[in-house]
Amino acid sequence: MKPVSMITTIFLFLIAALHLTRLVLGVEVVIAGSTMPWWTSLFGGLFTAGLGIMLWRENRTLGQ
């Protein structure tokens, strides 16, 4: 796997883990006085984890 692809994959998984942590711990996120609903972290976590998995699988198969 190329270094940039590896860094991007790790970054995506880190963001997904932060979203999951927010859901588990019930941390409130307030942006400009508005509280972000929990489902935004659910969607964001699933989306970034999916992108990370696709990038990891793509680079793993290209290396063979």
Mind listing the pLDDT tens digit of every residue in the chain (64 residues)?
788 999 999 999 999 999 999 999 999 999 999 999 999 999 999 999 999 999 999 988 876 5
Domain coverage including residue 45 = 3-27+35-62
Position 21 scores a pLDDT of 94
pTM comes to 0.83
CB-based contacts of 7, cutoff 8 Å, min separation 6: none
Over residues 18-32, the pLDDT tens digits come to 999 999 999 999 999
**pLDDT at residue 63 in the model:** 65
- What local confidence, expressed as pLDDT, does residue 62 receive? 75
**Structural domain count, the chain:** 1
Residue 41 · residue 23 · CB < 8 Å = yes
